[in-house]
């Protein structure tokens, strides 16, 4: 009883504004934690493997409920159940997805789903083939990609997947890059085949040393949905005094195609 009285007395001695601030901030922090943990999580794009869809310095929202929940989408890698649970609907071909790297689940990757379970995937002279049929693509023109060290000439294409999903890709050279000609990959059940839109500068399911391989459905965190912030990679986001000249206002907000 004595200890309880002392605690109450000490709290009462604090200024009223302290308690008012605490009562305002604590619920807000709890709501933010719940939202980030179970509903929407922000991610930043550190590499150019998904250019031109996602640029270095883009910040994206990923709805974690879109494919249901698994250990990959829960905090602290909690293994509360096997597989995926709650509101599950299947990922679609063409979705841009954040997932846990199969070789090291502590690392998050972002790529595009091009192969569904049971598909046969192959790349020949830089052209994607799905189940023996070349994916339609139209050349849009020449492009110069700045990788931070050099300006690299590229060709920009609009690629249209069999389900009608259309997106832009970059291709370097003449289709003779390291992964422009691959064997046939047969996607196992409950797995997906991932590729970057920057086809010659992406560690993805084509590369046996990338750690990606076939991505299990349990490793999916969620689809990339919206670019909510974008800043040139020459200026870290925390350097807010550079924002007026470094923010790419034309990219925000925008949906991820």
Catalytic amino acids?
49, 111
Q: Which helix (H) or strand (E) holds 20?
A: helix 16-34
Longest distance between any two alpha carbons in the chain, whole Å: 82
Cα 92 from chain centre:
15
- Say whether the peptide bond before residue 253 is cis (omega within 30 degrees of 0): yes
- Within 8 A by CB and 6+ apart from 93, the residues are 113, 114, 115, 116, 161, 162, 163, 165
Which residue has tokens 């750690």? 211
Four-residue CA torsion sign, 145, 115, 185, 175: negative
């Amino acid at each position: 009883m004595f200890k309880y009285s002392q605690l109450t007395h000490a709290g009462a001695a604090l200024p009223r504004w302290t308690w008012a601030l605490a009562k305002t901030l604590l619920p807000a922090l709890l709501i933010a934690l719940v939202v980030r943990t179970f509903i929407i999580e922000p991610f930043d794009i550190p590499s150019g493997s998904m250019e031109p869809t996602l640029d270095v310095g883009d910040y994206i929202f990923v709805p974690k409920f879109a494919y249901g929940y698994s250990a990959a989408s829960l905090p602290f890698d909690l293994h509360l159940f096997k597989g995926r649970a709650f509101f599950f609907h299947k990922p679609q071909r063409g979705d841009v997805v954040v997932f846990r790297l199969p070789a090291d689940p502590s690392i998050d990757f972002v790529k595009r789903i091009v192969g569904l379970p049971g598909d046969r995937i192959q790349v020949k002279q830089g052209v994607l083939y799905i189940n023996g049929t070349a994916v339609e693509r139209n050349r849009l023109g020449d492009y110069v990609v700045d990788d931070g060290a050099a300006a690299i000439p590229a060709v920009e294409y609009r690629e249209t997947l069999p389900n009608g999903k259309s997106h832009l890709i970059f291709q370097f050279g003449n289709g003779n890059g390291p992964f422009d000609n691959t064997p046939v990959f047969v996607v196992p059940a409950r797995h997906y085949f991932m590729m970057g839109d920057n086809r010659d500068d992406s560690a993805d399911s084509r590369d046996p040393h990338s750690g990606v391989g076939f991505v299990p459905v349990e490793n999916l965190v969620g689809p990339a949905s919206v670019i909510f912030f974008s800043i040139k990679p020459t200026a870290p986001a925390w350097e807010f005094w550079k924002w007026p000249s470094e923010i790419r206002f034309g990219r925000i907000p925008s949906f991820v195609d």
